[in-house]
Amino acid sequence: MSWILASKSSSRQELKAGDFALSVDVQSVYESSGFLTSKMYPSQQMHLTGSNSSTPTNTQPPSTLSGSGSQPILLDRQDSNLSTGSSDREESTSPDKTQQRTQADRKRKRKSGTQGVQNDEGGGGNVQKISRSTETKKINDYFKQQHQQQQQQQQQQQQQQQQTNSPHRHSGAKSPSPQVLLSHMTGHGGAGDPLAGLMPPPRGVPVATRSTQSDITFRQVDEMESRASMDMEAKNSRIDNLQCTNDELSRQLQSQSKVLEQKQLQINKCIEVVKRLQIEKSNIEKKEARQKCMQNRLRLGQFVTQRVGATFQENWQDGYAFQEITKRQEELQANREEIDRQRKLLMKRKPVEGGSNSRKRGANSNQGQGGGNLPNGLGGDHDHRDLTIQEYYESEEILKLRQTALKKEDTDLQQEMEKLERERNLHIRELKRIHNEDQSRILQSQSSPSNPHDMFNNHPVLNDRYLLLMLLGKGGFSEVHKAFDLKEQRYVACKVHQLNKDWKDDKKANYIKHAIREYNIQKKLNHPRIVRLYDVFEIDANSFCTVLEYCDGHDLDFYLKQHKTIPEREARSVIMQVVSALKYLNEIKPPIIHYDLKPGNILLTDGNILGEVKITDFGLSKVMDEDSYHPDYGMDLTSQGAGTYWYLPPECFIVGKTPPKISSKVDVWSVGVIFYQCLYGKKPFGHNQSQATILEENTILKATDVQFPPKPVVSNEAKQFIRCCLAYRKEDRNDVLTLSSNPYLSPPLPKSGRQSASSQQQAAAAASAAAAAQQQAGYQQPFTTGLLGLANIHSSTSS
């Protein structure tokens, strides 16, 4: 059989045989025949329709097979020996199946023996149906049909070669054909069969899609393939380059990792060396401190346990240094009394003008006193003669010189006693520190009981970072240790908070709440006059640690106890730094009230007042957030009764139905008290009183006015600054921001500025004087005019 193609440029060809027309998609035929690949032309379906039929035959195949991106392919359930290019199905029924068959049809069916072609004629048109016979086929029929299919494939290959040489092979995109299945065709049809001359497609995988034909030429395909191959080569080259780069980076990473490991090992070794050196240094310092403490016990004194009734008490016993000074003071007192006695005796022997009376009075005095030793050797027991005026003045001058020497020696003893008292205070403080260090729970809990003599035993490392060196101080529920940060290589202060195991859960929760609150406040602060908070971590179930900035020095309270007073210039420097820190606390959002500002919370970084100071301890601080603080009224004081009473303002002691209102003016009052104490060596209100006495006697509520002692001499500007801070009514008191701009704390004006200011003052004074003179001249001018008028009248009348 052969296919008759009407036109190569059209995707469909019509084959006419009698009253039937076969519409075939050329592309589908070529693809099913194997002439073209799926890369060049998408698959199309072949459609068989009647020339006079308006609608395709509605048939339901027994089974379907769907492919990706194509319409379902209808297949038969039984194996067929027909071509796979058409649809297999058991039986096709015609809409006119009920009509009577002709005699020719019956003869043709009996004559074929294997298949029958049923022709149905209707008024609307003729539709050809090819059905499969239910009779059994012979085996030779299958081989005969396969031989025919091989011949057909050879013919199709020849046609494909002819079609590829045509210039209109890829003339344009073809529209998809209607989807009507092509029935199986055999070579046993009759002469009237319209499909008798058609060659069935080769047996293979049935393909059915709805995609359109491409308009790409072979040259474009070659260009695309060459471009794709070039892109693939470039891609492979890029992959090779990236792979090489990756290998190189991996090699560098491995080498750098090895270098990093070596450096890390070196750093660890350095840390171990630093750790050992710090421990050795700490042990040496501890040993020296204990040796010095033992020596000072004999020289300065020590605590002695004494039994009082059924209990034992520790009382302080002074050392030999105080005993020596006390003995020298007693000797000075005896010499002073002796000088007074000799002066009285000399006054009785003072010569008087008028010889007889003086001799008689002198003799009576000698007899009454029984004699006396004068400084010049006169007036012994056997010397009863009267003194001359020269001898008297000589003896009097000697007594005055001795008395002056005694006063100087007494002053030296007083200074030495004050120095010993300061040393004794340090000695007592060191004794307590050593005792607390030996009884430290954190050192005992972190030490190893298996090796108590190990040098690392009393120097635990907290959080694998902080090496504890020595105890600085101990409070009620916390210990402050000097530590070394092994990571940052710096000294820090580790404040270890320890909870009592016997506390109830609510008390523990309250303590932890306040500690966390202090941490949350202080961790955000960053100012050179405020102690920094570096870290916080948990040690165990009953303790945690906060890491603070370390200040190598004592606090201002200890310095005042050692030196009593501070000169005004140094005290002003301390107050300027404190006010600078308070200004920072009031400029951040939200502002913060320290509320517990006192000399004990002002640290001296260098140990003296000539260096920098920093404020610390934000345990009682108040956060002035928008919910609790009002600019006009302040905020409620929820912790009334807490704090240090000598440094709190009067509004903190007011008791009523509602809590008192506070603001940053609380810290301003504290600044005034601290400045007063630095200048005069005592507190302005409640000095030498306990907090209980201050609370009972309402000392602060009665502190309406501040009094300044005559000595030491303080400038009027300093006194005025203190009055601004210690104003009784908080409405009259400056806040922190206003206090920071006080002229007393402002830097001095330069020389040119002072000259301009003085010139401005002089100009203002001259202007005021001129205005006053002009006003006085205005008053005098009418009076002068009146006098002149009277004089003129008088002269005219007299003439």
pLDDT for 105: 53
Q: Is the pLDDT of residue 438 over 50?
A: yes
Return the active site residues.
596
pLDDT for 457: 56
Of the pLDDT bands very low, low, confident and very high (cuts 50, 70, 90), residue 528 is very high
Listed in order, strand segments (DSSP E) in 394-506 are 461-462, 466-474, 478-485, 490-498
User: How much is the average pLDDT of 452-477?
Assistant: 79
Q: Backbone phi, then psi, for 225, in 5-degree steps?
A: -65, -40
pLDDT per position as a tens digit, 332-385 = 999 999 999 998 888 888 887 654 444 444 444 444 444 445 555 545 444 556
Domain ranges of the chain: 12-211, 303-436, 440-549, 556-740
Query: What is the amino acid identity at position 234?
Result: A
What is the CA 368 to chain-centroid distance, rounded?
93
More confident residue, 103 or 214: 214
Q: Hey, do 440-549 and 556-740 end up sharing a CATH topology, with the first three levels equal?
A: no
Q: Tell me the average pLDDT of the chain.
A: 73
Structure tokens at 796: 């005219």
Query: 458 vs 268, 403, 498, 661, 725, CA distance in Å?
Result: 21, 58, 18, 48, 47
β-bridge partners, 544: 497, 538
Structure tokens at 558: 């200890």
Q: How many CB atoms are located within 10 Å of the residue 190 CB?
A: 15
Q: Is the pLDDT of residue 127 over 80?
A: no
pLDDT for 610: 73
pLDDT for 118: 42
pLDDT for 724: 92
d(CA 349, CA 355): 13
Half-sphere CA count of 6, side-chain side, radius 13 A: 12
Give DSSP secondary structure letters for 277-330: HHHHHHHHHHHHHHHHHHHHHHHTEEEEEEEETTEEEEEEEE-HHHHHHHHHHH
Of the pLDDT bands very low, low, confident and very high (cuts 50, 70, 90), residue 312 is confident
pLDDT per position as a tens digit, 4-32 = 334 444 444 444 434 433 444 444 444 44
Of the pLDDT bands very low, low, confident and very high (cuts 50, 70, 90), residue 69 is very low
Of the pLDDT bands very low, low, confident and very high (cuts 50, 70, 90), residue 778 is very low
CB 54 within 8 A of CB 220: no
Question: Tokens 């474009």 identify what position?
Answer: 220
- Sign of the dihedral through C-alpha 665, 671, 673, 679: negative
pLDDT per position as a tens digit, 606-662 = 777 778 899 998 888 888 888 778 777 778 887 777 888 999 999 888 888 888 888
For residue 731, the 8-state DSSP code is T
Task: Indicate the range of 84-98, 285-299, 588-602 predicted with least confidence.
Answer: 84-98
CATH of domain 440-549: 3.30.200.20
Q: Is the pLDDT of residue 57 over 60?
A: no
Closest CA to 525 of 597, 614, 609: 614
Of the pLDDT bands very low, low, confident and very high (cuts 50, 70, 90), residue 90 is very low
Q: Is the pLDDT of residue 194 over 70?
A: no
pLDDT for 204: 55
**Interior angle at CA 702, CA 701 and CA 704, nearest 5:** 105
d(CA 565, CA 553): 18
3-state secondary structure of 209: strand
pLDDT for 236: 93
Structure tokens at 226: 């060459």
CB 405 within 8 A of CB 448: no
pLDDT for 774: 54
d(CA 343, CA 374): 9
User: How much is the average pLDDT of 674-683?
Assistant: 93
pLDDT per position as a tens digit, 378-412 = 454 445 567 788 888 888 899 999 999 999 999 99
495 is in an annotated binding site: yes
pLDDT for 304: 87
pLDDT for 636: 82
Half-sphere CA count of 250, side-chain side, radius 13 A: 6
More confident residue, 445 or 591: 591
Structure tokens at 668: 């301003």
Structurally, what CATH architecture does the domain formed by 556-740 represent? Answer: Orthogonal Bundle (1.10)
% residues pLDDT > 90 (the chain): 30
Helix H or strand E segment including 78: none
